[in-house]
Amino acid sequence: MLKIYNTLSGKKEIFKPIEEGKVGMYVCGNTVYDFCHIGHARAMISFDIISRFIRHLGYELNYVRNITDVDDKIIKRAEENNESTQSLTERMIAAQRKDELRLGNKMPDREPKATEFMQEIIDMIQILIDKGFAYQGVSGDVYYRTTKFEGYGKLNNRKLDDMLAGARIDVEVAKEHPADFVLWKQTKVGEVSWSSPWGEGRPGWHIECSAMSTNCLGSHFDIHGGGPDLKFPHHENEIAQSEAATGKDYVNYWMHCGAVRVNNEKMSKSLGNFFTVRDVLAKFNPEVVRYLMVSSQYRSAIDYSDQSLTEAKVALERLYTALRQQPVAASFSPTAFTERFEEAMKDDFNTAVAVSVLFELVRELNKAKVDDADKALLLAAELRSLAELLGLLYQDPEYFLQNSTISEGLDDTAIQALIDERTQVRKDKNFARSDEIRDELARQGIELLDSREGTSWTRS
């Protein structure tokens, strides 16, 4: 049975879908005003793997991940760039999808944009006002009345007044309570806006997700996920809005992935340790980045550094080396490796243990390659099949081993030309030149591997 750690209860629970055989999952996506950073990559990859395994278990999954395309940050960045908000968001959405495809992600079933659900957002705000859960302040902005909702704070297991201590909350005269948050805000002249019963304006961030999730998946659905920084206030506010508006429980299982730290420090532009996905992929093969994210269980924090990526590269090379020159089998019968892999994944998607099973399988595969070619063929197929659930080992082994590090030195054509020359001079018994070529390639980070089939190479 699949077990999921539920942030709401603070413990692992046996997963029971609302509708047998079907799962609805909503994940908070990005506010598209800038390029994706490695923290975004962690959430993207985590929930991609979760969606893959849920489908592997036979569930019919509806995976929805929103795009926040109207927000104060978007408006500010568009003004700085002297471009329209639509131009900025479209450009950032295209960049995000490119990053995701390079990282090996599959796209969600649906990616609703906030601007596409404006009427639904306005309708939900009106319901909250009618029920007494929201009010229009003297500023014209509409606020959620947190003191009206008895369950406020249940996701974080804290009382309302306790959550205020030390929290950054804007105190406005228009608010009835410091914790009340905006549902609809008045806009300045020239800013993007929509007509509403409360004047020209735009929605607050929290109400966008409540409207999109309930319209895409229903008032009550199975799983809601996101990054660790969203538990409060965003997800707490989502619960308050949604349950007050619908009168139903909002979500059964809340899932939050761990943070990405850089050299054991919080990632921050002010600290100079902020890295976009495209920055990282300029130095490392995308699958190396994915392996780093997969090698820890999704709730664990990850420490990002060049060293950790180098270690991930070496580990992934071990997996690919085992598949080198191994033909692809049409089918295979799962062994105990598959059983242990699935047990790990059923235990709250424990990819760390699942990856360790892959290395156990590799050790058995390497033994079989020596004296049992048929067994090796089947084990290699099993390795590929299990790794696919993690989004790994999708590249040709030779290609990956030659491109696991982005090199500014010799290109593939130049390397092959030197290898061909070395093959010829060895035939001519000019071993001095052969050694010169090997040494020259080694200085460029190219390691040669001689075998009966010929000479192959990897970047070291």
Q: What pLDDT does residue 364 have?
A: 97
Q: Is the same domain home to 83 and 33?
A: yes
CB 234 within 8 A of CB 66: no
| Whether the predicted pLDDT of 330 surpasses 90 | no
Q: Is the same domain home to 133 and 236?
A: yes
Q: What pLDDT does residue 161 have?
A: 77
Q: Is the same domain home to 251 and 147?
A: yes
Q: Is the same domain home to 383 and 416?
A: no
The answer to whether 346 is a known ligand-binding residue is: no
Q: Is the same domain home to 175 and 90?
A: yes
Residue ranges making up the domain that contains 441: 412-459
The answer to whether 37 is a known ligand-binding residue is: no
On whether residue 157 sits in a domain, the answer given is yes
Distances in whole angstroms, Cα of residue 436 to Cα of each of 414, 441, 442, 460: 15, 9, 10, 18
Q: Is the same domain home to 202 and 84?
A: yes
The answer to whether 36 is a known ligand-binding residue is: no
On whether residue 270 sits in a domain, the answer given is no
Q: Is the same domain home to 370 and 242?
A: no
What is the average pLDDT score of the chain?
92
What is the residue type of 179? A
The answer to whether 28 is a known ligand-binding residue is: yes
How many domains are contained in the chain?
3
List 253's β-bridge partners, or say none. 223
Place of tokens 């209860």: 9
Last residue of a domain, one of 395, 429, 449: 395
Rounded distance, CA 81 to CA 211, Å?
A: 30
Helix (H) / strand (E) containing 399: helix 397-403
Q: What are the pLDDT digits (tens) for 115-133?
A: 999 999 999 999 999 999 9
The answer to whether 216 is a known ligand-binding residue is: no
Q: What are the pLDDT digits (tens) for 335-347?
A: 999 999 999 999 9
- What is the CATH classification number for the domain harbouring 360? 1.20.120.640
Q: Which has the higher per-residue pLDDT, 266 or 244?
A: 244
